[in-house]
Structure 1
């Protein structure tokens, strides 16, 4: 199943690598990845589409635990 994650991340060295690593270690495959700097320029807004057989809440909980991740929302893709 495909899911879309919307995240807000701190602009920190390695933040994107940690998000991608966590995604793959939890059994999800990143399909698309797009983002932009936030208004205050010290945060990133990130949208990631993933595919996997596990429940999206598994990945959502693990991403939320990352220090750089300020918020994470998930919804199924149509």
Structure 2
């Protein structure tokens, strides 16, 4: 499984639109049934599991796992 570290990304102050575009790009980059772990900063991406799940669904991806600590949010997605 590949990992994509998005903690230091500059999202131009609009993390929701950045995340939508990022997830749409992942849809085209991943093969069917391929999984990827993405690491986010909680400060830059203040979304809960439900929001990540909603955005993943909109990008035709499945949220397989979600975990959160003070320093990072990890999600695992599958196409």
Using the size of structure 2 for normalisation, the TM-score is 0.47
- The structure whose residues are more often strand, as a share, is 1
Higher relative contact order (CA 8 A, sep 6+): 1
- The structure whose residues are more often helix, as a share, is 2
Using the size of structure 1 for normalisation, the TM-score is 0.48
